[in-house]
Chains A and B, each alone.
Chain A
Amino acid sequence: MSVCRLTSIAVLLAGMLMYGCGKRAESVTLAGSTAFAPFAEKLGSLYMAQTPGVRVAVQGGGSTVGIQAAQQGTAQIGMADLVKLPPEAEGLTAVVVARDGIAVILNPANPVANLTMDQIRGIFCGTLRNWKEVGGKDGAITLVSREAGSGTRASFEQIVGQVKLSAGALVQDSNGSIRETVASDPLAIGYLSHGLVNAKIKAVTVNDQPCTTEAVMADKYALVRPIYLLTKGSLQGAAQSFVAFILSEKGQAQIRQDGLIPAK
């Protein structure tokens, strides 16, 4: 009796397995940049809706992880949001799928509306310590930066150039906590991905250019970093068509709608 039942269960399982093999969903895995991961997820679900039989899985971990994952093959596609790809990314094929402005943010109570690149450099290096020196009210500047290893920080420091972060800077480990810190401290300055600017903080103009999609598209706003998709060797199958989808008009329109800047 029980042997009979066991056999029937085994046959059933085997049948399901074979059926599963025949119809197995092709999967695309992405890993890396926490700045792009939410967008990749959204693009992934759009892509899955229009292409049955493909599964897109997105993991975060940061740009460093993205490069590693692509090199080691733990993910088919690595995501990295760096101005300059590090030597570890050598041998990987890099495609720019979007661009992201880095907004320099202040508390809305701060009257300063524009900073030049030199002023930003001075503030983050700790040579300019008072808002008075850049046209604001008297008060010591509270610097807020990201942690070592953050892609946003690496990009910011590379574009601004020669930044050796002042030892007195506060360090927050996410875009969200940077925003909260600047929102609650009237003397704070920080930077974050421009899609995350909201009413609790204000983005200054840099060299008189506002941090908007239009200014970035026109190459006027300077603090912009590319978002790379990295792959080892040439792409095939679903991974290739997913990247093509992201670069297509529909994908780019979605990227723009979500607050990132299209690649071109």
Chain B
Amino acid sequence: MRISGDKIAKYVFLAIACSAIASLLLIALFILLEGLPFILRYGPWKFLSTSDWRPHEGAFGIAPMIISSLWITAGAMLIGAPLGVAGAVFLSEFVPKSVMCIIKPTIELLAGIPSVVYGFIGVMVLAPLIRTNLGGPGLSLLAAAVILGIMVLPTIISISVDAIGAVPNAFREGALALGATRWQAVRMVVLKAARSGIIASIILAMGRAVGETMAVIMVAGNTIRTPHSALEPVRTLTANIAIEMSAATGMHRQALFATGVVLFVVIMILNSLAMAAMRRKGGR
């Protein structure tokens, strides 16, 4: 009786696990089926490398959006990664456990703030600041990068704190016993040992930055043009899909699915990199 109960539980959980994977596969399959035929018909190179996006005239070039997505992500990492890693080091090495138990959940609360709220703050506070102090229309690559840099902080901090926490105490004690100062021990021993976990946190944050849509639509300005400065408005791959999907038909709709395929591939690459980085840590 008990054995059959175990078996039932096993198969139920197996079915639930499979359904999660199946939904991922279905989404991937759906996007590919809708998008790939268009890419092949239009020409993959022409789709990826030309910069004219005029859906009603049959011109579908997404180069400016790919470049913008990459620049915004790079900018967000430039802001988020140093802040996040420094915060993680501070929290796990220089602050008593009791304080960390308060600060870490607070930072993780940041992850719970809806992205539309970040976007709203970006529009109301950050964009006017940029416009009056630096020039340009305010809604810009820079604004999007700053907002995303803040949005990815919880991801970077919580994973990095875990990675640093996983470094055995013997490492620290050994370094200190050899006469290293606390900062030297952190810099030369702890950070080195936790490196792969920290890198994984940054790559996961990149995935989040590439995929973020709502906040970016609100603060990036959505101009379809390859940016020449950080103060210019830009449109990302995600914004392009979200803005135009509701009114798109025919070729236009397929082109948006094809944009989704490109996005999917970019995020898959980032996630595989993160997994590879994590695995190196596990093998250690």
Residues A170 and B222 in contact, CB atoms below 8 Å apart: yes
Give which listed residue, B232, B244, B247, contacts A65 with CB less than 8 A: B247
- Inter-chain CA distance A8–B222, complex, in Å, is 61
Q: Is the C-beta of B55 less than 8 angstroms from some C-beta in chain A?
A: yes
- Number of A-B residue pairs, CB cutoff 8 Å, is 68
List of A residues within 8 angstroms of B247 by Cβ: 62-65, 147-150
Within 8 A of B (CB), among A20-36: none
Q: Is the C-beta of A231 less than 8 angstroms from some C-beta in chain B?
A: no
Give which listed residue, B128, B235, B249, contacts A64 with CB less than 8 A: B249
List of B residues within 8 angstroms of A62 by Cβ: 246-247
Residue among B54, B128, B224, B242 with most chain A CB within 10 A:
B224
Residues A188 and B246 in contact, CB atoms below 8 Å apart: no
Q: Is the C-beta of B56 less than 8 angstroms from some C-beta in chain A?
A: yes
Residues B138 and A167 in contact, CB atoms below 8 Å apart: no
Q: A69 to chain B: closest CB distance in Å?
A: 12
- Inter-chain CA distance A255–B127, complex, in Å, is 37
Q: Is the C-beta of A53 less than 8 angstroms from some C-beta in chain B?
A: no
Within 8 A of A (CB), among B228-284: 232-233, 235, 242-244, 246-249, 252
Q: Is the C-beta of B211 less than 8 angstroms from some C-beta in chain A?
A: no
**A interface SS class:** mixed
Q: Is the C-beta of B218 less than 8 angstroms from some C-beta in chain A?
A: yes
List of B residues within 8 angstroms of A150 by Cβ: 247
Residue among A147, A170, A185 with most chain B CB within 10 A:
A147
- Inter-chain CA distance A224–B137, complex, in Å, is 29
Residue among A62, A68, A181 with most chain B CB within 10 A:
A181
What residue of chain B has the Cβ atom nearest to residue A61's Cβ? Answer: B246
- Inter-chain CA distance A42–B112, complex, in Å, is 36
Within 8 A of A (CB), among B120-159: 123-124, 127-128, 131, 137-139
Residues B56 and A148 in contact, CB atoms below 8 Å apart: yes
List of B residues within 8 angstroms of A15 by Cβ: none
- Inter-chain CA distance A65–B245, complex, in Å, is 11
List of A residues within 8 angstroms of B223 by Cβ: 167-171
Residues A168 and B244 in contact, CB atoms below 8 Å apart: no
Residues B225 and A167 in contact, CB atoms below 8 Å apart: yes
Q: B221 to chain A: closest CB distance in Å?
A: 4
Give which listed residue, B127, B224, B248, contacts A171 with CB less than 8 A: B224
Residues A148 and B137 in contact, CB atoms below 8 Å apart: no
Q: Is the C-beta of A173 less than 8 angstroms from some C-beta in chain B?
A: yes
List of A residues within 8 angstroms of B225 by Cβ: 167-168
Q: Is the C-beta of B216 less than 8 angstroms from some C-beta in chain A?
A: no
Within 8 A of B (CB), among A123-139: none
Q: Is the C-beta of B217 less than 8 angstroms from some C-beta in chain A?
A: yes
Q: Is the C-beta of A45 less than 8 angstroms from some C-beta in chain B?
A: no
Residues A170 and B243 in contact, CB atoms below 8 Å apart: no
How many chain B residues touch A (Cβ–Cβ < 8 Å)? 29
List of B residues within 8 angstroms of A188 by Cβ: 137
Q: A65-B246, A147-B243 are in contact. Are A170 and B218 (CB under 8 A)?
A: no
Q: B116 to chain A: closest CB distance in Å?
A: 12
Residue-wise interface mask of A (53-82) relative to B, using a CB-CB cutoff of 8 A (1 in contact, 0 not): 000000001111100100000000000000
Give which listed residue, A68, A148, A173, contacts B217 with CB less than 8 A: A173
Give which listed residue, B139, B235, B243, contacts A181 with CB less than 8 A: B139
List of A residues within 8 angstroms of B218 by Cβ: 177
Give which listed residue, A64, A65, A167, contacts B224 with CB less than 8 A: A167
Q: Is the C-beta of A240 less than 8 angstroms from some C-beta in chain B?
A: no
Residues B123 and A149 in contact, CB atoms below 8 Å apart: no
Q: A167-B223, A170-B221, A184-B128 are in contact. Are A149 and B137 (CB under 8 A)?
A: no
Q: A109 to chain B: closest CB distance in Å?
A: 13
6 sampled A-B residue pairs with Cβ under 8 A: A88-B249, A147-B244, A147-B247, A173-B217, A173-B222, A185-B137
Residues of chain B touching chain A, judged by Cβ–Cβ distance below 8 Å, are 54-56, 123-124, 127-128, 131, 137-139, 217-218, 221-225, 232-233, 235, 242-244, 246-249, 252
Given contacts A168-B233, A170-B137, A171-B222, 16 further A-B contacts (CB under 8 A): A61-B246, A62-B247, A63-B247, A64-B247, A68-B249, A147-B222, A147-B247, A149-B55, A167-B223, A167-B224, A170-B221, A173-B222, A184-B128, A184-B138, A185-B138, A188-B137
